[in-house]
């Protein structure tokens, strides 16, 4: 019984609701994330998270029922007010990221709906 519930939860796609606190003109964004899929932070693609600048800062990657923040070395990404330098596990269903650009903070609030 447990194995069946696990398989159902792994195969269900997650919905990410992204709010842009630093840019009130930007509408809330919704992305979907399947198992073993990743979403870029800072790209202009359809299934990516907007942030200023023209470089990808990192990825949110789903593996099973876990979500990982994987930074790239190009631009900084802050989680819980600390710069992320290596892949970390996101333990919460609601969290904030900061992607500073040109000496200004760009805050994102991400709500994970499983």
pTM of the model: 0.90
Single out the residue of 93, 15, 80, 74 nearest to residue 47, CA to CA: 15
**Domain locations in the chain as residue ranges:** 2-113
Mean pLDDT of the chain: 91
Count other Cβ atoms within 10 Å, centred on residue 76: 16
Model pLDDT for residues 84-109, shown as the tens digit of each residue: 999 999 999 999 999 999 999 999 99
Count other Cβ atoms within 10 Å, centred on residue 1: 5
Model pLDDT for residues 44-75, shown as the tens digit of each residue: 787 799 988 888 999 999 999 999 999 998 89
Question: How many H-runs (helices) and E-runs (strands) does the chain carry?
Answer: 1, 10
Under 8 Å between Cβ of 108 and 90: no
Under 8 Å between Cβ of 57 and 41: yes
- CATH code of the region 2-113: 2.60.200.20
């Amino acid at each position: 019984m447990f194995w069946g519930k696990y398989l159902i939860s792994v195969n269900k796609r997650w919905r990410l609701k992204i709010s842009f606190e630093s840019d009130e003109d930007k509408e809330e964004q919704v992305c979907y994330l399947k198992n073993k899929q990743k979403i870029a932070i800072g790209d202009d693609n359809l299934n990516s998270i907007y942030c200023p600048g023209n470089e990808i800062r990192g990825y949110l990657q789903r593996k099973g029922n876990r979500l990982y923040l994987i930074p790239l070395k190009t631009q900084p990404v802050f989680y819980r007010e600390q710069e992320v330098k290596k892949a970390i596990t996101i333990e919460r269903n609601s969290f904030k990221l900061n992607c500073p650009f040109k000496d200004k903070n760009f805050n994102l609030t991400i709500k994970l709906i499983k």
